[in-house]
Chain A
Amino acid sequence: MSFDVVLRSIFSAAFLASVLRISTPLILPALGGLITDLSGAINIALEGIMLVSAFTGVIVSAYSGSVGLGVIAGVISGILISYVLGWFHLHMKTDIILAGIAINILATGGTIFLLFVLTGDKGNSQSLASGTVPNIHLPFIQDIPFIGRVISGQHVFVWIAFLLTWLVAVYLYRTPWGSHLRAVGENPDAAETMGINVNRTRMIALLISGFLASFGGLTMSMAYLSFFQREMTAGRGFIALAAVYLGGRKPWGTLAAAILFGFADALSHQLGSLRVPSQLVQTIPYVVTILALVIYNLREQAIKRDRQRKFYEQQQAEMGSGGGL
């Protein structure tokens, strides 16, 4: 396949649809990262939570025969793990980064172990008959050329990701709880003296992040693929954290940053069909992540320098024109 074929396919509806699909398991945990970061107790265990939820969802849906129960169990497992993290950090006063790392490692090993116990396979759960969430076909819209093919027929988690972004934005900026959460993150003493319970606020933020990240995990194993695979989150929980900062610690910005990373990921899939070493192609999403963060920082600095320069010019002009010293 030649390069221009790839180029053309990038601008196809199918490709854009896949960007949305691939971005979803980044958007959801990124929202969770955002909320905890703003509360002052950042959840770096998103990766582990996603893995555990992806696993739990598949297992429960396979054994119960119900996709709904699988999703519910996956979400509950995610919330439980973030509760454990919160308990260690807020009550036992462990460093949240260390506790988060511990959970990530435990989740990687633990899911593989249980997978082996339950299926006899250390690689994936394809021997189990687990379900997937439904796709949503939009009547009328699906008939619109191009756009219809981008947004119709997506699985429900894509829609949930956008809906939750909006809800998170409302929560953070339009409700008193969001206001308390941001106050706790910025000046916990101020919040405390105004009668806001700092620990409880941070715990709630962690639980919400568990809820959001678990949807990200379920997207991986019950929508994007239809089975669990070892280490299937492949660093998405960390890229999600990068999206939080690239997005300026704002909900819609985080969404946009996550979609950018999703775009890079989708691109690497497209390029996989070229005769380029696949290892190289697979690095694209990660390289884009690093580049994006570097560019973001350079831009921030440039903006600051520019402000400074304008300011001096203005001063020089004033000094020259008529101080009348």
Chain B
Amino acid sequence: MPAGGKPPAGYLMEVCVPPIIELKDIYKIYPNGVMANKGVDFSVNAGEIHALVGENGAGKSTLMKIIYGMEKPTEGKVFVEGVERHFNSSRDAIDAGIGMVHQNFMLVPSFTVAENIVLGQEPTKNGLLKKRQAIDETLQISQQYGLRVDPEAIVDTINVGMRQRVEILKALYRGANILILDEPTAVLTPQETQELFSAIRKLVDQGKTVVFITHKLREVKEVSDRVTVMRKGKAIGTLPTEEATRESLARMMVGREVLMRVDKPPSERGRKVMEVQNLSYVDETGRRVLNNVSFNIYAGEILGIAGVEGNGQTELVEILTGLRPATSGDALVNGNPVLNKTPREVRMAKVSHIPEDRLTNGLALEASINENLIVDRYFRSPFRKGTSIDYKTVRDFGAQSIKEYGILTPDGDLPVASLSGGNMQKVIVAREFTSDPELLIAAQPTRGIDVGATEFVREQLVQKRTEGTAVLLVSADLGEVMSLSDRIIAVYEGEITGVFPDAESLGEEELGLYMLGIKKQPAEEMEVLL
């Protein structure tokens, strides 16, 4: 190479410089005997955006935790910038310029943004905290990397997007050159995802290297330079993103063709199950979130709600399931009012609910799988025996559900927290489907879960509907809404902007105009279709 001349970056990377991170033949066996990584080779080049994809439980997080020093490999070697390293804790990895944003946020809720960012490396004078300096430094790196945060806001009160920016800034504050993001988009709205991607690009422009884990193949195509696919603890392959297609990646991930289209028999619409009339909701801050919403759901149909996230869907579902009081309006299930009732009363009216946030509303993480499967019915026969719970029946029921719904676990008495995201969702689906609902309200039923589990949940939804259950489907995944629904309602800013009785013949662009509030059907026309 000519002395002094600066060769093109790509050439330099491939020929001279070793990968910035290289893992060789990594094995990881957890104390409970799970072998999460089985001989993984993995390398990341300096300055690239490297996507890591794979089903839930494939071992992606484990591999990243090994790089970040949180887990020690049972066997294998870790090289950072060509030097072999043995990290004893994340502290060591941080010192080596590695930062990681975890799947579940690692923030202290009662602390301010700035306090969280400087945690563990606070600026001090004579042993006392310099709060002003922490705020200033936060502002400064926030501006440098274009990650907008409010340094003095209490973390408990900020939204998910900002929490994630705080996490990234935490790593950057510690001088991270290599940033690992574990499923950063799973909790983000589409807009927030876009903001995150532009932030990632900006980071790479400033010389950082980014590894990010995702389930969404669209995102891989959109933002990454190279992609590595993992399956069942092994790295199946790494390829430049241009050479990858969504189909080929999906095939590598699950080892078989994934059904992207859902086969479903035609809908046989039955009687009216739910009737929502002039429902309105004003939130704590006085914002009008839902404005005079009316619609019906019939037995044997899936009614899909299409809308950009944050247009009132979350609140609508929470109101209909008893988690949030309505401001005005009515909602009836089989003629019985369900508004402003407790969740149990709503469930007694034969309503099931797959909540949007499975970690807080869907499951009790520390409770066992079996217990989670019966939380909505432990007080009824056959689970109740006198004043106590009949655990034998519970176990039998658990074993049967685990088998029927393909929940991957050796034992139903293990805590739900030990399952991967996809399997957690299967626990919820099993519970909600076995309660024999007449109305099923499914919010983001496949968000953040792997391809196999997604396919399973979708099939189950269609099956329930074919058996005669009324289904309300709310999803940020437009493809999902369009392929599953029999009828679609478009919402924009808390109002219904259009009703489409024949979901199949509808074009994505056409629907988009209603979702973005550009078009709106006349009221008379909608009334007939609702």
Contacts and interface: CB of A to CB of B under 8 A. Distances in A.
Nearest to B111: A183
Given A174-B128, A315-B282, A194 B291 contact: no
Interface of B: 70, 89-91, 94, 100, 102, 106-111, 115-116, 119-122, 124, 127-129, 170, 278, 280, 282, 284, 286, 288, 291-292, 327-328
Interface residues of A, number: 25
A69 interface: no
A63 to B, nearest CB: 38
Interface stretch (A15-23, A127-135, A284-292, A317-325): A317-325
Contact of A318 (B89, B107, B124, B282): B282
Contacts of B116: 190
Nearest to A187: B108
Contacts of B119: 179-180, 183, 190-191, 194, 196
A297 to B, nearest CB: 20
A189 interface: yes
A253 B121 CA distance: 29
B108 A323 contact: no
A193 B327 CA distance: 43
A191 B291 CA distance: 43
Contact of B108 (A174, A190, A314): A190
B108 A195 contact: no
Nearest to A314: B286
B129 A319 contact: no
A315 B286 CA distance: 7
A183 B121 CA distance: 13
B129 A179 contact: yes
A9 interface: no
A200 B470 CA distance: 55
Contacts of B278: 325
Interface string A162-197: 000000001000111001101100110111111110
A323 B289 CA distance: 12
Nearest to B278: A325
Contacts of B122: 176, 179
Contacts of A187: 106-109
Nearest to A318: B282
A193 B100 CA distance: 9
Contacts of A3: none
A116 interface: no
A131 B292 CA distance: 79
Nearest to A308: B325
Contacts of B286: 314-315, 318
A325 B120 contact: no
A194 B128 CA distance: 19
A247 to B, nearest CB: 17
A315 B327 contact: yes
Contact of A323 (B70, B91, B280): B280
17 contacts: A174-B129, A176-B124, A176-B127, A183-B111, A183-B119, A186-B108, A187-B107, A190-B119, A191-B119, A193-B102, A193-B106, A194-B170, A195-B90, A195-B91, A315-B286, A315-B327, A318-B282
Contact of A196 (B107, B120, B128, B170): B120
| Most chain B beta carbons < 10 A, residue from A189, A193, A323, A325 | A193
Contacts of A175: 124, 127-129
Given A194-B119, A323-B288, A186 B127 contact: no
A311 interface: yes
B107 A190 contact: yes
Given A195-B89, A195-B120, A315-B327, A325 B280 contact: yes
Given A176-B129, A315-B327, 9 more contacts: A174-B128, A176-B124, A180-B120, A182-B108, A192-B90, A193-B70, A193-B102, A196-B119, A314-B286
| Most chain B beta carbons < 10 A, residue from A170, A187, A311 | A187
B8 to A, nearest CB: 37
A180 B124 CA distance: 13
A322 to B, nearest CB: 11
B115 A179 contact: yes
Contacts of A193: 70, 90, 100, 102, 106
A314 B286 CA distance: 8
A175 B124 CA distance: 8
A154 to B, nearest CB: 30
Nearest to B110: A186
A323 B329 CA distance: 14
A128 B321 CA distance: 71
A191 B288 contact: no
Contacts of B111: 179, 182-183, 186
Contacts of B282: 315, 318-319
A142 B109 CA distance: 47
A325 B288 CA distance: 11
A28 B476 CA distance: 55
Contacts of B284: 311
A12 B152 CA distance: 47
B287 to A, nearest CB: 11
A170 B280 CA distance: 48
Given A192-B90, A193-B102, A194-B119, A325 B292 contact: yes
Nearest to B292: A325
A92 B89 CA distance: 21
A198 to B, nearest CB: 11
A311 B327 CA distance: 11
A319 B119 CA distance: 45
B94 A195 contact: yes
Nearest to A195: B91
Nearest to B328: A319
A325 B106 contact: no
A183 B115 CA distance: 10
A317 to B, nearest CB: 10
A192 B65 CA distance: 13
Question: 5 tightest A-B contacts by CB?
Answer: A194-B120, A195-B91, A190-B106, A176-B122, A183-B108
Contacts of A311: 284
Interface string A187-222: 101111111100000000000000000000000000
B134 to A, nearest CB: 10
A27 B121 CA distance: 32
A175 B109 CA distance: 19
B145 to A, nearest CB: 19
A187 B108 CA distance: 6
Nearest to B100: A193
B128 A186 contact: no
A166 to B, nearest CB: 14
A307 to B, nearest CB: 9
Contacts of A191: 108, 119-120
A314 B284 CA distance: 10
A319 B327 CA distance: 8
Contacts of A182: 108, 110-111
Nearest to B122: A176
A194 B70 CA distance: 11
B484 to A, nearest CB: 31
Interface in A288-318: 311, 314-315, 318
Nearest to A173: B129
